[in-house]
A and B are shown apart, each in its own frame.
Chain A
Amino acid sequence: MFAFIKRHAERLRYYDAITGMNKILRRYFVMNSFDGALTIFGLLLASFAAGVKDPLLIVKIGMGTAIAIGFSGLTGALLTERAERLREIKKMELALHRRLDNTDYKRAYDFAALITAAVDGLSPLLVATILLSPFFIIPLPHAYYYAFGLALVFFFLLGVFLGEVSRENLILTGVKFLFAGVACMGIILFLEGI
């Protein structure tokens, strides 16, 4: 079992060295989970302002929206990444004067396209499930408050994660993301008030 994990970890590391997928995955994860979180956050705020009191309805709409964002991410990333990587392979084939079918090189690029699409598709779904989780266990209207709290904590953590990547002040980057969420909240509540 350990040898199996080690072998696959080595292969992943090798694929990453060839394709640089680590950076792209990180970028896609942050971008699409932020997209997903902000969308669900907006949806919850609007539901709250409109006085929706059916938790099942909120979960259904929220998950439907998350699936749509996830599916858009999945297909979009799969097609664009595949196209980009195919272009790279063709250029490399020209430089090497050989075909690269059935090589680890090509496999690395195929794998990178697939995993990128998976991360792009699954991250908003995962975030939506987390943000909607209070509606499964806590009665309304408290579930709203917990969900808003979770969303704001998530925005902050996403900022901290990016701060860690860029080796910046973690609190500052966290607050920047948090501000984006709060600004979104302000606009939505203002518009709903009108």
Chain B
Amino acid sequence: MTTIRRLVLDVMIPLNVPSSELALKLSKLTGVDGVDLLVTEVEHRIEKAKITMEGENINLDGVRALLDKAGASLQGVDRITCGKRVVG
């Protein structure tokens, strides 16, 4: 069975939502081993971030739902790594 092992997401987060909390929540999802949230741009009301997630079996729908519930806006999936092992 092939699974998602790495995801790189382009996300917009409201400035007043603590990104640390968001990263922690993402890291607690089942199938996720680690999360890296890098703020790339800060604007008037929002910040843009690259979220990299690694794990044995990342559930993309679960990630989407969590981001949606937190009030973040998923702009796109920049990178997705699937299969038995991580390539690249």
* Chain A residues within 8 Å of B, Cβ to Cβ: 14, 17-20, 91-92, 95-98, 100, 102-106
Interface residues of B, CB < 8 Å — how many?
Answer: 16
Give Cα A102 to B69, complex, Å.
Answer: 7
Q: Across the interface, do A14 and B21 meet the contact criterion of CB distance under 8 Å?
A: yes
Q: How far in angstroms is the closest Cβ of chain A from B51?
A: 15
Instruction: Decide: B18 and A17 in contact? CB cutoff 8 A.
Output: yes
Q: A91–B72 Cα gap in the complex (Å)? A: 14
Please state if A17 and B21 are interface contacts (CB–CB under 8 Å): yes
Q: Are A105 and B21 in contact (CB under 8 A)?
A: no
The CA of A105 and the CA of B14, in the complex, are separated in Å by 9
**Number of A-B residue pairs at CB separation under 8 A:** 46
A106 to B44 alpha-carbon distance, docked (Å): 19
Chain A hits for B60, CB < 8 A: none
* CA gap between A91 and B46 in the complex, in Å: 11
Whether B41 sits at the interface, judged by CB under 8 Å, is no
The distance from the CB of B32 to the nearest CB of chain A, in whole angstroms, is 19
A selection of 23 A-B contacts at a CB cut-off of 8 Å is A17-B21, A18-B14, A18-B17, A18-B18, A19-B16, A20-B16, A91-B45, A92-B45, A92-B46, A92-B71, A95-B44, A95-B46, A96-B72, A98-B73, A102-B69, A103-B68, A103-B69, A103-B70, A104-B71, A105-B14, A105-B17, A105-B70, A105-B71
Is B16 in contact with A103, judged by CB distance below 8 angstroms? no
Contacting residues, chain A, for B14 (C-beta < 8 A): 18, 92, 95-96, 105
In the assembly, what is the distance between CA of A100 and CA of B45, in Å? 14
Which 8 pairs, one residue from A and one from B, show the smallest C-beta to C-beta distance?
A: A105-B71, A95-B45, A96-B73, A103-B71, A98-B73, A17-B18, A95-B46, A18-B16
Produce 1/0 per residue, B1-40, CB < 8 A to A: 0000000000010101110010000000000000000000
Q: Which residues of B contact A18 (CB under 8 A)?
A: 14, 16-18
- Nearest-neighbour CB distance to chain A for B73, whole angstroms, equals 4
A100–B12 Cα distance when bound, in Å, is 13
Residue B43 at the chain A interface, CB threshold 8 Å: yes
Q: Which residue of B lies closest to A91 (CB)?
A: B45
Instruction: Determine the distance from Cα of A181 to Cα of B40 in the docked complex, in whole angstroms.
Output: 53
Report the Cα distance A6→B14, complex, angstroms.
25
User: How far does the alpha carbon of A91 sit from the alpha carbon of B43 in the complex, in Å?
Assistant: 13
> Nearest Cβ distance between residue B65 and chain A, in whole angstroms?
11
Contact among A19, A95, A104, A105 with B43 in the assembled complex (CB-CB below 8 Å): A95
Give CA–CA (A58, B45) in the complex, Å.
Answer: 52
Q: Across the interface, which residues of A come within 8 angstroms of B70, CB to CB?
A: 103-105
A101→B45 CA distance, assembly (Å): 18
